[in-house]
Structure 1
Amino acid sequence: MTDHSSFVLLNTGAHMPLLGLGTYRLRGPEDTYQAVDAALTAGYRAFDTAAVYRNEADLGQALHTLLPKHGLSRADVFITSKLSPKDQGAKARDGCLRSLEQLGLDYIDLYLIHWPGTQGVAVGDKRNPKNRSQSWATLEDFHMEGKFKAIGVSNYTVKHMQELLKACRVVPAVLQVEFHPRYAQKELRALCEESGVCFQAYSSLGTGVLLTDPVVQEVAERCGRTPAQVLLRWALQQNVPVLPKSAKPDRVQDNVRLFDFELSDSNMARLSSLDCGEKFCWDPSLVI
């Protein structure tokens, strides 16, 4: 995980690891410490959190303790966090400052607007576009001040991205969305590619459902790999960064073994043939 073949180049010029640890399910300082320790041991150098995960402080403390243990410094890891939907709009500045404080960091490598809507506001409410525009302007300010090295969005649709790209001062560096063989998001990926935005995957395993898909299992058996490794590798071979999440140290270590094998063209095609537009997570398309 040290050469740049394991990284993607962002439009800021920064290198973001293709593999990061998703921390959505990590709860409490002990579980967080164990997962981060296992991840650093296995070679992970990127960690993804969010205000709504309620573990920013635990992650920050774990890294503060563990980086010296592993002979690493702050500059060796890439930290992503996200603005809570409750802080969308006028509260965005407070939300950004709170993330920095919770993580105990002078800067965050990548900060995202987590959701195109606002907590407590109906999805069809016309305040949503105004609020996310105000949030983006706040993220741009933090970026220009050097507190956020890169900024981006999560769960944006083609419509939300087009709206943002038309008005922004700073082009988003990353769009993080649900992506797996059953939900390949071709139109959104094409928009990101032509706009210089890195398309990043979450829920690569389809909330676990795809682990038992017969095609996935067949490809995994052919490769002598786990279904999870095959699903993650499918994304990586398309230059899509992934964020597998697990609180179990053995799975954390299994998920790093993605760079010592390749899926054949036929296996890639088999997996890609599963695309049917099936989502397993929340649906942002209703947010105006």
Structure 2
Amino acid sequence: MKKWSLLLSIVFFAVAVLAGCSEKKDDKSIKLAYVAWDSEIASTNVVKEVLESKLGYKVEMLQVDAGPMWAGIADGSADAMVAAWLPGTHASYLEKYKSDIVDLGPNLNGTKIGLTVPAYMDIKSIEDLNKAEIVSALNKQIIGIEPGAGIMMATEKAVKEYGLKDYTLVESSSAAMAQELQKAYGNKQPIVVTGWTPHWMFAKMDLKYLDDPKGLFGGDEQIHTLVRKGLDADMKDAHAFLDQFEWFPEDMAKVMVAIQEGKSPEEAAKDWVTENADKVDAWVKGAE
């Protein structure tokens, strides 16, 4: 009996070990860092949907500011992000962390940042913001987003370089900025905000960028995919997909508009993935 008992114990132990190994093998999890900008909410949720529905991952979303997002990839506390605006907006972060991250290249081309106003405003350049009547009409405010964002740093520099000493750059959030813009636009009131494309607000409202003669906001940019070092060895399929992930501003705009019109980010991403099977298949080719 003792021999049988020992044998059964060994068998049960072996089964438990194998089950544990199987569970560990199947427990695929990945952490995606992102900033709460409408564009990055759209792209990160699409990436999440593909990782979960096509590659079987459990995705943890880490919403942070731009600085911690870059730091998270660099120190390995996050696995990947698809929200690096280069070469200008996030230049300071790239310089700081470039030796500790892996840049998989652009996932979207044709982005732009700058000070933005409704098209009905009779103003063309950032320099025009110094006109007394414009300063008064705008209540001496430039409506910004989260502190630490690349566009906020560029705007702080613009305030100095263009001598906009009468203005306060209002720290806010992407969502709050858009709400203020919509409110002013609906009443045809003057407003200036930190804007960027792709963004749903350009699809919903007639807006324009103010000319930037000093080039402080840079030209057209790209959004890059960054991953932590070692991801290619630890998660080959996820790395392969992230390396092949690339879409267009009109794709991102569809997801952003769907969210703005009431769909949850998850629902909007799922719908887009379903409706764009050919593109998604190309992203995961060789990864499945």
TM norm. shorter chain > 0.5: no
The structure carrying a bigger strand percent of its residues is 2
- TM-score tier, shorter chain, comes to under 0.3
TM-score, length of structure 1 as denominator length: 0.26
Higher relative contact order, structure no. (Cα contacts within 8 Å, ≥ 6 residues apart): 2
